[in-house]
Amino acid sequence: MLGRQSLDWPVSNERVFGLFVCLFVCLFVCLFFLDRYTATDAVYLFCTGVWIIYSGTLLFPRLMSYYTKSTHTVEKTGLISIWIFWLLLLPGLIAFFASGESTITDYTVMVSMAVSRIGLWSFDLAETQIMQKYIVEEERGLINATQTAMYQLFYCLMQVGGIVFPHPKDFYILVYFSMFVVFFACGLYSHWYKSKLD
């Protein structure tokens, strides 16, 4: 009975605001105790992060409403979102081609990684709804556990990549590989969308 009640919690503005306040306090305390950041830097970083997450949250329903006439609204929204994610990462790759390793490239990669989270967050919302729609309730735990295991495996591979290529002059290898993997994921999702839904 307690588990059922926890599922029926209404999401109110007060709870969301409270969550953001808690996140802000945690971020502020963590960054404040690092000597490199001031309180103002912590506020700027937090506000930027909230803006990016909020933008992805706003993008998802806008795409959903744009494709309401489509028979597969959530799936189409996922398709557009994952390609937005890759396209917003693309300036970092172009910067490496254009100017190699430089300060401009570093900032371009950081900004494109941060802004691309808008598409990633929107895709994550679509993917969650797709999983709920297509997977039988009894199998969702197994699928979610498999998804988590795969995520952790690729996270470990990413860390190994950092160990194998630790020098800044080798960073372009990680950028190229990351862009290829994201492009491959976009292709896989596009193939699934085309074969299953069209």
The domain locations on the chain are: 14-197
- Say whether pLDDT at 37 is over 80: no
Give 81's contacts (C-beta < 8 A, 6+ positions apart). 59, 60, 63, 119, 120, 122, 123, 125, 126
Q: Which amino acid is at 109?
A: V
Q: How confident is the model at residue 39 (pLDDT cuts 50, 70, 90)?
A: low
Percentage of residues of the chain with pLDDT beyond 90: 14
pLDDT of 149 over the 90 cut: yes
Per the prediction, the chain carries an average pLDDT of 78
**4 pLDDT above the threshold of 50:** no
Q: pLDDT band for 3, please (50, 70, 90 cuts).
A: very low
Give CA–CA dist 132/139, Å, rounded. 10
Counting residues of the chain whose pLDDT is more than 70, the rounded percentage is 74
Averaged pLDDT, 110-134: 87
Q: Residue 167 class from Cβ within 10 Å (0-12 exposed, 13-18 middle, 19+ buried)?
A: exposed
Position 82 scores a pLDDT of: 93
CA–CA separation, 169 vs 35, rounded Å?
27
Residue 33 pLDDT exceeds 70: no
Is pLDDT at 122 greater than 60 in this prediction? yes
Across the chain, which distance is largest between two alpha carbons, in Å?
A: 60
Q: Is 9 a residue whose pLDDT tops 50?
A: no
Q: If you average pLDDT over residues 121-141, what whole number do you get?
A: 87
Question: pTM higher than 0.75, yes or no?
Answer: no
Mean pLDDT of 106-116: 85
The confidence band for 15, taking pLDDT boundaries of 50, 70 and 90, is low
- Average confidence (pLDDT) over 83-110: 87
- pLDDT at position 59 is 81
pLDDT band per the 50, 70, 90 thresholds, residue 31: low
Question: In 34-170, which ranges are continuous DSSP H helix?
Answer: 39-66, 73-99, 103-134, 140-164
What pLDDT was estimated at residue 73?
82
